[in-house]
A = this chain, B = another copy of it.
Amino acid sequence: MLTFNQYLDMVNGAIARLQYPEQPARLYEPIAYTMDLGGKRLRPVLTLMACEAMGGKADDALDAALAIEMFHNFTLLHDDVMDRADRRRGKPTVHCQWNDNVAILSGDTMLTLATQLMTRARRFDLLDLFNRTAIEIYEGQQLDMDFESRDTVALDEYIEMIRLKTSVLLGCACKTGALAAGAGDDDAQALYRMGVDLGLAFQLQDDWLDVWGDPVTFGKEIGGDIANNKKTFLLINALNRATGEQATLLRQWLDTSSERHDDKVKAVTAIYEQLGLKELAQDEIARYSRRALQWLDSVKMGNDAHEAFAALINRLTRRDR
């Protein structure tokens, strides 16, 4: 078993070795640009770790790991078009650097390239899992967009949305590595559940960091969700819990235009804190994190593999960026 950073090096090395045709340049340059932007590479590392934890060789899962990372980057590329996001990882997004059409078509190409990578292992179980997960992710993205235009979103609807949009791909990454190593269905499924719970903790942590994170270490502006009235775990709980004057105040701030960005972020954060949401969210993150660790415990693997996963889960769900 290697360390996270050693698997990360394997992934980054393999991504650097990916070759794209030279022409048409406006099709392939945005793909290379997107793949070279970096990022945590969490999903492909999970695949390699799960593969080795279940007795396989990381090399045997490398194409599948790349497929999942390519797919993930395709979803980011198209999401950025849909969200009109200007920047990603400190650089202009593809639709800003080129244009919308280039972003749409390069994204389509990345999806098929990802499918080709996933097909290389000649395993229909991997391909079925990959395709099914892709469909769930589109459903999650559509729900996320639907929620924007809705007045209220229930907490369980929100959790289901982030499960689909974010978590199932982490589950898929873990299960793919396990299956590539020849693990049995029960173990593979337990690692899938581990990945999903890790993903839920991870996304709730993202909601939390958007409010209480350190802008320098988090690397994004703080309060973006509040400014945009995004129906996160925090806002949904706040709307459920606030009563009387607090509820009125919260509603007033939601109706306040984004010109008063700093005041709004400060005021809504204060309401969240009065409602005990800082601790509630941490408890919920800890709960999903514990559940992920329980799924991990249910799978027989070497001590070093178990420790590596446990350390990763703890690190990711207590992260500050």
Q: How far is the CA of A131 from the CA of B118 in the complex (A)?
A: 11
A104 near B131 with CB under 8 A, answer no
Q: How far is the CA of A124 from the CA of B115 in the complex (A)?
A: 12
Encode A138-152 as 1/0 by CB contact (under 8 A) with B.
Answer: 110111011000000
Q: Is A60 an interface residue (CB 8 A)?
A: no
B24 near A143 with CB under 8 A, answer yes
A142-B27 contact in complex given A122-B124, A128-B119, C-beta closer than 8 Å: yes
**Contact for A108 among B78, B113, B131, CB less than 8 A:** B78
Q: Is A109 an interface residue (CB 8 A)?
A: yes
**Contact for A135 among B109, B134, B145, CB less than 8 A:** B109
Q: How far is the CB of A70 from chain B (nearest CB, A)?
A: 13
Q: How far is the CA of A46 from the CA of B267 in the complex (A)?
A: 64
3 nearest CB pairs, A to B: A27-B142, A24-B142, A82-B101
Q: Is A26 an interface residue (CB 8 A)?
A: yes
A105 near B131 with CB under 8 A, answer no
Q: How far is the CB of A85 from chain B (nearest CB, A)?
A: 13
Q: Which residues of B contact A132 (CB under 8 A)?
A: 116
